[in-house]
Structure 1
């Protein structure tokens, strides 16, 4: 599975990239037909605390899957997005 992570307009620490990769690669265990995962982590211009957004698109033959979550931290946003995709894959 090919994994692409984009972080427009800010620099990200290696620790966060490894965290995202570790959890997203686990989705491949549920469905080995996943060809690619495209991840975009961005900061939303908001006064609220939940301004970290993680969007994940899985490229699967015949049916692409998408999840987007907004949280107080990127780690939480990644976990919730992966959980939503896991639920979609199990259906």
Structure 2
């Protein structure tokens, strides 16, 4: 799967990009028709500890899913976002099977 990672107002290190790629590749186990995904990393300028925002957009044929998570670290936010996407993709897969 092609994963486009974009960071807003900071430079992302290669280790984080590799982590995101591994997590996003796991989504193909749940739904094999994922075309591409875009991951946006943002740091909000607030005094709160949970200021890391990850927004993931996944493109599948005929639809597009967007999940946004805010956590203390980017790794935690990516994990939470991929868990949410797993549920969404499994739900879509079961709906498609029901129509066959």
TM-score by length of 1: 0.95
Q: Report the Cα distance in structure 2 between the residues aligned to 1:20 and 1:39, rounded to whole angstroms.
A: 8
Runs (4+) of structure 1 exceeding 3 A deviation are none
Instruction: Pick the structure with greater CA Rg.
Output: 2
Q: Which residue of 2 aligns with 1:4?
A: 4
* C-alpha displacement of 1:41: 0.6
Higher helix fraction (1 or 2) = 2
TM-score by length of 2: 0.87
Task: Please state whether the residue corresponding to 2:70 is helix, strand or coil.
Answer: strand
Q: Report the Cα distance in structure 2 between the residues aligned to 1:38 and 1:78, rounded to whole angstroms.
A: 12
Q: How many residues get paired?
A: 91
Task: Please state whether the residue corresponding to 1:56 is helix, strand or coil.
Answer: strand
Q: Which residue of 1 aligns with 2:21?
A: 21
Q: For structure 1, which runs of at least 5 residues remain unmatched after alignment?
A: none
Task: Please state whether the residue corresponding to 1:76 is helix, strand or coil.
Answer: helix
Q: Report the Cα distance in structure 1 between the residues aligned to 2:44 and 2:28, rounded to whole angstroms.
A: 29
For 1:4-45, what per-residue CA distance to the aligned partner results, in whole angstroms no more than 9, with x for missing partners?
000021011111111111001110121111100100011012
RMSD (Å) for aligned C-alpha atoms: 0.8
Q: Report the Cα distance in structure 2 between the residues aligned to 1:23 and 1:6, rounded to whole angstroms.
A: 16
